[in-house]
Structure 1
């Protein structure tokens, strides 16, 4: 259950990061509220996952899921660059997330 909460928290990190971009420095109300609300929910789920998972593993996975997701969303939805180098390093983050899950004791 802790891993499920952690993955959901990471997915919510994607939402709040994208909403933060749309909030334009908190000058737009609805994206600002979405960013704040999903950030709080993401932090809350992370804190619940930390009851059963080591902090280093949980934090790395949470950040990694968010980083990979935001990068993909930026490429797909925002027209950000799609270079082979960028894809390589995002893939390395994904491999790290999978490795942390696979070797968690």
Structure 2
């Protein structure tokens, strides 16, 4: 179950990363709370911040649950590797970020390392 928690934490880390990317502190500070619910733009500014908080806490919770049964160094390496590959995948597929075929080789090496760490006792 700890490995499932670890991969859920990695998914939350990926979502947290993009919440942070789309969040604008400047726009959050400029929100007018009077009449907040009447304007759609206010929700569009608040949504990334809400995602930042939600995914951040979820990430911490699931990662801490995983670390109860997985050594910290292994958990950290697998969690970060899975999150790095996931962020790159989201950038390529959904955000249409340019990529080079060599990046897939390096991501494959990261995935091989993750599988290798998972297989260790």
TM norm structure 1 = 0.90
Q: Which has the higher contact order (CA 8 A, sep 6+)?
A: 2
Matched, 1:7 2:24: no
Task: Measure the CA separation in 1 of the matches of 2:74 and 2:102.
Answer: 26
2:14 is aligned with 1:18: no
Matched, 1:31 2:48: yes
Counterpart check, 1:94 vs 2:111: yes
| Gapped regions of structure 2 (runs ≥ 5) | 28-44
CA distance in 2, matches of 1:94, 1:53: 18
- Offset of 1:24 from its aligned partner? 3.7
**Structure 2 counterpart of 1:76, from 84, 93, 96:** 93
CA distance in 1, matches of 2:56, 2:81: 15
- State the superposition RMSD in angstroms: 1.4
- Equivalent residue for 1:66, pick from 70, 83, 86: 83
Deviation at 1:14, TM superposition (A): 1.1
Local SS of the residue matching 1:78: coil
How many equivalent residue pairs?
Answer: 104
Q: Name the structure 1 match of 2:30.
A: none
TM-score (norm 2): 0.79
CA distance in 1, matches of 2:106, 2:9: 22
